[in-house]
Amino acid sequence: MLTDMQIRKASPKERAYKLSDGSGLHLFVTPAGGKLWRYRYEFGGKEKLLSLGPYPDTTLSDARAGRDRAKELLRDGKDPSTAKRLKRFKAVEGASETFEVLAREWFDLNRDHWVKHHADEVIRSLEAEVFPSIGSLPTREVSPRDVLEVLRKIEARDAKETARRVRQRIGSVYTYAIATSRAEHNPAALLVGAMAPMVKGRQPAITDLEVARAMLRHVEATPGHAVTKLAIRLLALTAVRPGTLAETPWTELPPGSDMWIVPAARMKLRKHLKNDDRRDHMVPLSRQAIETIGALRTITGRGPLVFPNARHAHKPMSENAMGYMLNRAGYHHRHVPHGWRSTFSTVMNERFPADRAVIDLMLAHVPKDAVEAAYNRAQHLGRRIELAQLWGDLITEGLPPPMDLAALPRL
């Protein structure tokens, strides 16, 4: 058997030679001075060599342990050289199948089925919240604790809804990983009960008519950009979704029109419905809404967008601009832009309870009954026009003409 002293003193010779340690293990010394551990064995009637590593990186004790492991494999009827190649392959495969690699593969598979806004939000959340923590880990090595640490960081910002969405997305990646034989367990599946509790409430909205009128007066008296104030007034009059309003092109509001047709492509719909023109949303314009659009035309009518971004005219105004305006007027946590839909629905349903279905149509709500949604295509346009004007009269009572807002300094 060899000793460390013998190995250190082994000098290169003109030809390579071996120093035996017994039981098939030997040190192979090259003419250049390299010292390599090898194990000679027989498998399937053939003599084979297994490389165990260079000396001194692989010590004498390491080499003997490697030989003993190889003997165990032989006793089990396995070829040590084949086992080594498989181990190396799995290591390379595992390194390439990190969580980030698999998550991006899952995302690419699904992105065409999502609307662009949602797809952008999904990949942005993974890149910002998940990949920095577990993106480089092999998919099979991510534990529930690893995922929970990611979620706890998000919850610490009081973004509990975001944490839940991120957990669902991690879970979806693992559902895909399991289906493609690249994971056995879903570490996100058992974390629902471990997440911080969340009381899910409705978005804050003022639903009293008098208070809503007063709010519009306060908003319009608060320093701010005229276009933002007119956007809030038109939002109150039409009860469309804030995101839909903010991205409106002038082509949808031609001069003289008393009906605003929002294409299905811009509505909150599943992607496969966005090319269905039967899903276009028809918004009857009250006299007050038409006047508000006219005032806006004097400010932004030369560009492509009704509500352009203050810094980049070719981009739409941020939906947040309306929210910030409401906050500056003193309505933080009391009313948000989306809240105008609740204001309209509450006031009009209280006054006209028989028109509940029509009011839902004006809000572009999809009927809960799937059969009704498929077959009832009644538009009730006549009554919708009447209700739009009744609402316009109610919500703008006591407000100055829109042109007064257009004439304000553009801050």
185 carries an active-site annotation: no
Q: Does residue 200 form part of some domain?
A: no
Q: Does residue 202 form part of some domain?
A: no
338 carries an active-site annotation: yes
Give yes or no: residues 115 and 66 share one domain: no
Catalytic one of 113, 268, 332, 351: 268
- pLDDT at 375 (0 to 100): 40
Q: Which of 194, 219, 238 is the last residue of a domain?
A: 194
Decide if pLDDT at 374 tops 50.
Answer: no
Split into its structural domains, the chain has a count of 3
**CATH code at 142?**
1.10.150.130
CB atoms within 10 A of CB 225: 17
Q: Does residue 199 form part of some domain?
A: no
Give yes or no: residues 104 and 90 share one domain: no
375 carries an active-site annotation: yes
For residue range 315-365, list pLDDT tens digits in order. 888 888 999 999 999 999 899 999 999 999 999 999 999 999 999 989 987
Give yes or no: residues 250 and 353 share one domain: yes
CB burial string 40-70: b at 16+ within 10 A, e below: ebebeeeeeebebeebeebebeebbebbebb
Please tell me the pTM assigned to this model: 0.55
Does residue 365 or residue 52 have the better pLDDT? 52
- pLDDT at 376 (0 to 100): 45
How big is the chain by its Cα radius of gyration, in Å?
35
Does residue 77 or residue 93 have the better pLDDT? 77
Give yes or no: residues 175 and 83 share one domain: no
Q: Which of 95, 126, 146 is the last residue of a domain?
A: 95
Write out the two tokens for 249: 């092109």
For residue range 243-289, list pLDDT tens digits in order. 899 989 999 999 999 999 888 777 654 555 556 666 688 899 999 99
Write out the two tokens for 233: 């007034």
Alpha-carbon distance 280 to 263, whole Å?
5
Residues 241 and 231: beta-carbon distance below 8 Å? no
Catalytic one of 64, 338, 383, 384: 338
What percentage of the chain carries pLDDT values higher than 70? Answer: 89
Decide if pLDDT at 383 tops 60.
Answer: yes
Give yes or no: residues 178 and 325 share one domain: no
- Computed from CA positions of residues 116, 122, 128, 131, in that sequence, does the dihedral angle turn out positive or negative? negative
Q: Could you list the residue range(s) of the whole structural domain that residue 47 is in?
A: 4-95
Query: 249: which DSSP letter?
Result: B
Decide if pLDDT at 207 tops 50.
Answer: yes
Q: Does residue 90 form part of some domain?
A: yes
Overall average pLDDT of the 119-133 stretch = 92
Which residues are bridge partners to 262 per DSSP?
281
Catalytic one of 241, 335, 383, 384: 241
Catalytic one of 13, 332, 375, 410: 375
- pLDDT at 95 (0 to 100): 52
Catalytic one of 90, 113, 117, 365: 365
312 carries an active-site annotation: no
Give the N- to C-terminal CA distance of the chain in Å, as an integer. 90
Angle at which helix 287-300 crosses helix 226-238, to 10 degrees, equals: 150
Give yes or no: residues 165 and 17 share one domain: no
Q: What is the mean pLDDT of the chain?
A: 86
Which are the contacts of 145, defined by CB distance < 8 A and separation ≥ 6? none
Pairing state of beta strands 35-43 and 46-54?
A: antiparallel
Confidence of residue 373 (pLDDT cuts 50, 70, 90): very low
Residues 293 and 250: beta-carbon distance below 8 Å? no
Give yes or no: residues 217 and 349 share one domain: yes
Catalytic one of 213, 233, 341, 384: 341
